[in-house]
Homo-oligomer: A and B are copies of this chain.
Amino acid sequence: MASMPLRVIPLGGLGAIGKNMMVLEYGDDIVVIDCGVMFPGEDMPGVDLVIPDISYLVERSHKVRAILITHGHEDHTGALPYVLPRLNVPVFAPRLAHGLISVKLKDHGLHKSTDLRAIEPGVPISLGPFETEAFRVCHSIPDAMGLAIRTPVGLVVHTGDFKIDHTPVDGKTTDLASLARYGAEGVLLLLSDSTYAELEGYTPSERVVGEALDRVIAGAPGRVLVATFASLIARIQQTIEAAARHGRKVAVVGRSMVDNVAMATEMGYIKAPPGVLVSLQKAMKLPQNEVVLVTTGSQGEPTSALVRIASGTHRQIEVFPDDTVIISATAIPGNEKVVYRTIDNLMRQGARVLYDKIALVHVHGHSSREELKIMLNLTKPKFFVPVHGEYRGLAAHASLARDMGVQKDNAFILEDGDVLELTSTGGQVTEQVSAGHIYVDGLSTMDTKSVVLRDRKLLSQDGIVVIVLSFDKASGAPLSEPAVVSSGFVEHQQAEELFGKVAAHIYDSLDHGSHYPLDWSYVNAKVKEIAGELLYKGTGRRPMIIPVTLEV
C-alpha cells in the first residue's frame, strides 16, 4: 500500500494548463505525460517555438522512468528534440505518433540516441511503481490514446485530447468499455481534456464533414481545393473517398501535406483506391472537373500553398472562377485575420469559398460538455484535475465535475508548477516548483522575463535612434557633432533636418574644455534627455535612444 502521496505536477502549457507536459511522481519514480511545444503569439516577436521549462525534471533525471506520448500532434510531441538531449529517457508513443516522432528525431540527429517504443492499446507497460496501459480515444489525428496508470495510491486516468465520436472515419471509437472497467475498479484521479469545456452539447462526428465534402465535390462545376491540417489524416481520407466516388483524381500540394500523406499511406492510415492519388503534374493536365487538390494553408501560413495560390504567387497553381475552395479547419486564435485575408483573396479572383462560418466543413477534435459528462460518469473519479484548457475552461470543467458528484474539495484547478499531493483520502497543493515557458529563438533559449523580448516590443513601437559621440582620448573633448542614425522612427526626409538639430543641440551642451576622464553615465543620460525631448517635440514619437561614446 501507499506510504507516500502521489504528486501531480503540470509543467508548462501557455494558458492551456498542463497541455504540453504533465508529471506524475511517486517516491523515487517519475513518469512524464506528453512533451509538446506551443507556437509563439504576437507578443513574442521573433520567437520560433515555446517549450516547457523542464528544470524540475532535469534536477531529478535519475527518477524519470519514461515520457508517455498520447498522440502525434506537435503540442504533445514537438518539444522532444529540445528535451531529450537534457533528459534521455525512453519515449512511448502510439504507432502513428511513433512514426511522426521518428522523422522529427532523425531531423535533429537524435534517432540513434533515443529509446523510442510503440505502444498498443491494452498492452501493459511497467514503469517502476506505475503500471500503465493506453486506451483508444477519438481525436483529430488517428491513434490517439488516453492512459490508465495504476499507482500505489490508486488508479489515475488521463484522457489525452479526446472527443466521443461514435462514427469516426477509421471506425475506431473512444473505448468506453475500458473506461467503464476503470470506473468499476475505482478511479482515484481523472485528468480530463478541458479545451471545449465551455461548449454545450456534443461535438459533431467526423462523418457529418464527410457528407458535406461529398455534397460539395459532387456539385462542383470545376476544380475543388481542400485546405486542412497536414495531420488531419481522417479529413484527407474522407476527401480521397469523396473524390473517388465522383470520378475525380486527388493531388497533394504543400511539402508537409505531401510528407504526411506519404507517411500515412505507407503506415496504412490512408487508403486510396488505385489510381486516385496522382501527382500535381498529372492533375494539371486533367479536365478541371476531374480534379481535387488537397493543400496546406488552412491557417493562412504565409509560405503555404493555399496562401500563395490566393495571392497569385504559386508557381504552378492559379485560381479559376469555377474553382471551389473548402477551408476544412478552424482558424486557431490569433490566425483569424490571415485566414480571412486568404478567403477574401480567393473570392476576389472568383472562387467559391466554403469555410466553417458558412458551411459544416470542419469539426474539431475535443469534447463538448455532454461528452465530458460521459467521461466523468464512466470513470466516477474520487479526485478531479481538469487539464488542457485556459483557466475559464478548467473552471467550467471543475464546476461540471462537482455537479456530477466529485466532492467540492476534491476538484483541483492547478496552475503550471503547482504540486498536488494526493493520498487515498485527500489532496492538497503543497508547493510550487519551477515551471512555465522557455522561448526558443534560433540556437538559444530565453525565459519569459527576458529583456530581449521587452526590447523587441519597444523597438516595434517607435523604432530606435542611435547617437554616436566621439571624444578625444587624451583631453576628453568632443571631436565633432554626434552622428545620428535611426530605424523604424520617421521617414528619411523628415529625419535629416531633425537629426541635424539633435546633433547640434547635443554638441552645444557638451563641455568643450578638457575634462578627462569623462563621466560616461552623465553624458549618456544627458544625450538621452536632450534627444528624447527634441524628438518627441518634433514627431510625437518616443523611440528607443542609444548613445554610443567613442574615445579616439
Contacts and interface: CB of A to CB of B under 8 A. Distances in A.
Interface of A: 15, 41-42, 45-46, 198, 333-334, 336-337, 340-341, 343-344, 347-348, 353, 357-358, 390-392, 395-396, 441-444, 446, 450-453, 455-464, 466, 468, 470, 479-480, 483, 485, 487-492, 494, 536, 538-541, 544, 546, 548, 550, 552
6 contacts: A41-B337, A45-B461, A441-B462, A452-B488, A456-B463, A552-B552
A15 B470 CA distance: 49
A459 B488 CA distance: 8
Nearest to A358: B198
A552 B348 CA distance: 58
Contacts of A468: 468, 548, 550
A358 B368 CA distance: 13
A234 B343 CA distance: 35
B395 A463 contact: no
A277 to B, nearest CB: 31
Contacts of A443: 538-541
A358 B488 CA distance: 43
A331 to B, nearest CB: 10
B452 A456 contact: no
Contacts of A333: 336-337
B540 A444 contact: yes
* Interface majority SS (helix, strand, loop, mixed), chain A: mixed
B450 A46 contact: no
**Which 5 A-B residue pairings sit nearest by Cβ, starting from the closest?**
A442-B540, A460-B460, A344-B391, A443-B540, A455-B488
A494 B357 CA distance: 48
A352 to B, nearest CB: 9
Contact of A489 (B337, B395, B452, B540): B452
A460 B456 contact: yes
Contacts of A442: 462, 536, 539-541
A15 B453 CA distance: 31
A221 to B, nearest CB: 16
B490 A444 contact: yes
A488 B47 CA distance: 11
A473 to B, nearest CB: 9
- Highest count of chain B CB atoms <10 Å: which of A41, A483, A548: A548
A171 to B, nearest CB: 33
A539 B444 contact: yes
A392 B310 CA distance: 14
Given A455-B487, A458-B487, 5 more contacts: A333-B336, A343-B392, A443-B539, A453-B488, A485-B546
A17 B145 CA distance: 47
Contacts of A460: 45-46, 456-457, 459-460
A481 to B, nearest CB: 11
Contacts of A337: 41, 333-334
A455 B492 CA distance: 12
A464 B470 contact: no
A466 B548 contact: yes
Contacts of A198: 357-358
Given A391-B344, A441-B541, A463 B452 contact: yes
A490 to B, nearest CB: 6
B15 A344 contact: yes
B451 A491 contact: yes
B539 A470 contact: no
Contacts of A45: 460-461
A550 B340 CA distance: 49
Contact of A487 (B15, B461, B480, B544): B544
